[in-house]
Amino acid sequence: MKIIEDIKIKRKELNLNTNEIAEKLHLQETYIKYIESEEFDKFPDKIYLYGYIVRYLKLLNMKVEEYTEELEKIKKLQEEQIEEKEGKKRDNKKIYFIFIVVVFIVIIISLLFLIEKKEIKKEEIKVSVKEENIREETEENKKIEIPKNEIKIVSKKKTNVKYQADTEAIETKLFNADDSMVLNFYNRAKVNLENVWDAGIIVNDTFAQLGSFKNKRNINLEFFADTETKKIKWRAIENF
């Protein structure tokens, strides 16, 4: 550029070196060398380039207006860098904004996940507590004995006795002399005796009076609980 060539010629005419120019302009000597070698790209910041050259011209008592066209080109370089810097700032702002948005979304998703996890945990605890309560109730129910009615079958000699408690299966047991068995039931029980002389039945802590059946075989008896007296009653039935 003509302006740069003229600057170098004028400096040499004045017997000034680049170090002396740098001191007078309060600049680093490397900046003066960049100007004189037209290495403008090496400036860390071109926004001051136009001002440096104008000051350089004035220091050498050169007419600034003679280099208006070239100074405009240098000014344009300066403006391009300013625009580039502004563009980078805008891009950085966009990147920063996107980053903030992404971080915000991640935080929201994390919070929602934690809330959902907490709710699931609460539900699990509720279910666990409910299951524990059910288990405890079941255990308590097991501990509570449901009242049953009972009769006692007592054999006098070896004999077969058939019996049924509520709706359970009918069973037959061989009794030896002096054997006994407690038959528990809730509502009803049935007993079949081959002969009243072979076995007796204790009801309400007393032997049932079966004398009227002494000459009969295969006697069918039904025992049931009386809800009013809370005692066990019995009667003869035809079929087992």
pLDDT (tens digit, 9 = 90+) per residue, 167-189? Answer: 999 999 999 988 999 999 999 99
Domain boundaries of the chain, sorted by first residue: 1-144, 149-236
Instruction: Answer yes or no: is pLDDT of 144 > 60.
Output: no
Reading the block at residue 155, the tokens are: 């054999």
Q: Which strand ranges, in their side-by-side order, compose the sheet holding 231-236? A: 171-175, 159-165, 188-195, 217-226, 231-236
Q: What is the pTM of this model?
A: 0.39
Determine the average pLDDT of the residues in 36-60: 88
Res 53: pLDDT: 93
**Where does 1-144 sit in CATH, by number?**
1.10.260.40
Question: Three-state SS for 182?
Answer: strand
Predicted local confidence at residue 121, as pLDDT: 80
Burial environment of residue 33 by CB neighbours within 10 A (0 to 12, 13 to 18, 19 or more): middle
